[in-house]
Amino acid sequence: MKILLIGASGFIGRNLSGVLRQAGHDIVPVSRHHGVDVSLMRRSEQWLPWLRGVEVVINAVGIIGESGGQGFAALHTEAPVALFDACLAAGVRRVIQISALGADTRAASAYHLSKRAADDYLRSLDLDWWVLRPALIYGRGGASSEMFQRLARLPIVPVIGDGRQPLQPVHIADVVATIVACMTSEQARTTLDIVGNEVVEYAHWLQRLRLAQGYRQGGVLHLPLWLVLLGAWAGQVFSPMLRTENIRMLVTGYRASPNSWNAFLGRRALDFSPALLRANAVEALSGQGSVS
């Protein structure tokens, strides 16, 4: 199957490419790493040459913070809308959109609103679409996953306020398995929240990551929200992930039921283990059966 994969060099894109190539699929990668600035692809005619012979389009492009001319509106909304229009014009019906948990009626941040705008537009089109909204994704090679692991290794583990913000982490392998299932599923025009079966508090998640890395349980430093926001405001110069908006999204604590997603997968999502923390999608899925 010939697949156009936008965001091929990101965490999801890299893992998905590995699994799909292992299964013999033909991947057409699109990303800055592959010489294409998606933020400039905001007209449908720009996408048409990329769609020749393509059977499935997967949009996995995404940024957690704006920097270097890469903005939410262009990357999350305008370029995807142009892509979806091009799919309609070219007759490419299967489109899989990777969104984010919280990009729904609760959306308040620029990140979530930009994702939701593209989701809503895709859902309005006569295409066989899937909108997938994953929660916090962990696994080897993920930027946010590695950031939380670094925090967990500190002598004293810093948490926001009481540290009880709810999370439903999901392994990259389950995200990839879901995308692969959508490629051949007859359940089109579906929105799925991809969330872990367990709701874990932020402070407990960091301690779990700490233990998984071979450290003893550490002490906890409870930081007031205002201080964390101040630190994020100062640190955003050095890292797009250190944004006050990202801290507020974490504090909001988006949750969803995993039932519809588990039913779609036909199995229970993977439960956390130290081995999974160190595994990529190909390694984690090797014991789950072949991908076709």
Identify the pLDDT of residue 244: 74
Model confidence, pTM? 0.93
**Average confidence (pLDDT) over 51-59:** 99
Report pLDDT digits (tens) over 90-145. Answer: 999 999 999 999 999 888 889 999 999 999 999 999 999 999 999 999 999 988 88
Residue 91 in tokens: 């007759």
Beta strands at 56-59 and 219-223: parallel, antiparallel or unpaired: unpaired
Report pLDDT digits (tens) over 215-255. Answer: 999 899 999 898 888 877 766 655 556 677 778 888 888 89
CATH topology assigned to domain 2-137+169-197+254-285: Rossmann fold (3.40.50)
Three state DSSP letters for the chain? CEEEEECCCCHHHHHHHHHHHHCCCEEEEECCCCCCCHHHCCCHHHHHHHHCCCCEEEECCCCCCCECCECHHHHHHHHHHHHHHHHHHHCCCEEEEECCCCCCCCCCCHHHHHHHHHHHHHHCCCCEEEEEEECCEECCCCHHHHHHHHHHHCCEEEEECCCCCEECCEEHHHHHHHHHHHHHCCCCCEEEEECCCCCEEHHHHHHHHHHHCCCCCCEEEEECHHHHHHHHHHHCCCCCCCCHHHHHHHHHCCCCCCHHHHHHHCCCCCCCCHHHHCCCHHHHHCCCCCCC
Report pLDDT digits (tens) over 244-290. Answer: 777 888 888 889 999 999 999 999 999 999 999 999 998 999 866 44
The amino acid present at 168, given as its one-letter code, is: Q
Report pLDDT digits (tens) over 165-203. Answer: 999 999 999 999 999 999 999 999 999 999 999 999 999
Identify the pLDDT of residue 290: 44
